[in-house]
Amino acid sequence: MIRTRFAPSPNGPLHLGHAYAALVAHDVARARGGECILRIEDIDGTRSRAEFVDEFLRDLEWLGLAWDGDTVFQSRRLASYAEAGERLKTMGLIYPCTCTRAEIAAAAQEIGPDGPIYPGTCRHRAADPAHAAWRLDVAKATALTGPLAWTDEAAGPQSATPDIFGDVVLLRKDLPASYHLAATLDDATDGITLVTRGMDLFPASHVHRLLQALLGLAVPTWLHHPLLVESARDGELRKLAKRRGAPSLADRRRAGEDGAAIAQALREGRLPAGISLSQGVHQAP
């Protein structure tokens, strides 16, 4: 049986792009007689707000989406992330880094999917672990695992290239986790067999595949779906975003719009003027 998930972060209201992601996760599971869970990715203490979570639950119900089992909250799983972090420390695969963002930007030689690639400054220096983020030594880790592969249902078989981000942060200075570590552990804990999420996270899956190998986790299949995009002022197509004025689902719900009809329109590919779906399959850079 397949099991998928919708995993929003409560750091802003949901908009139509989130509704699309939720529908993909939900409908793929329903179409195949599987299950879909709702996971709230609320470990970013500075940006997460409990009020958004209440709104999310109302928005999703308004769209006509129901989830299997209890809603999962990442903030309740910090101990398990920390435990995995300790295992990676014991394996000698993560190292403390005290570099600031500005130092990294100044020293970086390359730009990766998330911005400047960390140049490895602390890899061989004993940074003070008390005030450090912990980074994965990707070269050491991949030497240990050997070549890895994974499959996206739309894009097909992939050879893992986890080095595209450089040495990613797995434990933040303020948190015993990072997005990569928490999401990978959760997908295993939650028994997710098909990771559905937006194509913007396609590169991250290379890193997640490596973490699965290092931590002995089950390997799911992925389905990275297109994103809802709109033309920005500069004429470029950009992902819908609250900060560019995408109306929130909560506002539309309160204005009395019909959520089930909005969901149905998305399913049929009827999109509001100016909004379209990004290309269907991830293109290698």
Q: Which residues bind ligand GLU (CB under 6 A)?
A: 7-9, 41, 183, 197, 201
42 binds, among ligand GLU, Zn ion, none (CB under 5 to 8 A by kind): none
Cβ-count burial of 140 within 10 angstroms (0-12 exposed, 13-18 middle, 19+ buried)? Answer: middle
99 binds Zn ion (CB under 5 A): yes
CB of residue 169 to ligand GLU, shortest distance in Å: 16
| Closer of 97 and 266 to Zn ion (Cβ) | 97
Residues contacting 178, CB < 8 A, separation 6+: 168, 169, 170, 171, 172
Cα–Cα distance, 267 to 24 (Å, whole number): 9
224: exposed, middle or buried (Cβ count in 10 Å: 0-12, 13-18, 19+): buried
Residue 166 touches which member of Zn ion, ligand GLU, none, C-beta under 5-8 Å by kind: none
Rounded CA-CA distance 194/80 in Å is: 22
Which option in ligand GLU, Zn ion, none does residue 99 bind, with CB closer than 5 to 8 A by kind? Zn ion
The nearest distance, CB 99 to Zn ion, in angstroms, is 3
97 binds Zn ion (CB under 5 A): yes
The answer to whether residue 7 forms part of the interface with Zn ion (CB under 5 A) is no
Task: Count the Cβ atoms, other than its own, within 10 Å of residue 44.
Answer: 19
Q: State CA 103 to chain mean position distance.
A: 26
Partner that binds at residue 19, options ligand GLU, Zn ion, none, CB closer than 5 to 8 Å by kind: none
For the bound state, the minimum distance from the C-beta of residue 187 to ligand GLU, rounded and expressed in Å, comes to 8
DSSP 193: S
Q: Which residue ranges make up the site for Zn ion (CB under 5 A)?
A: 97, 99, 121-122
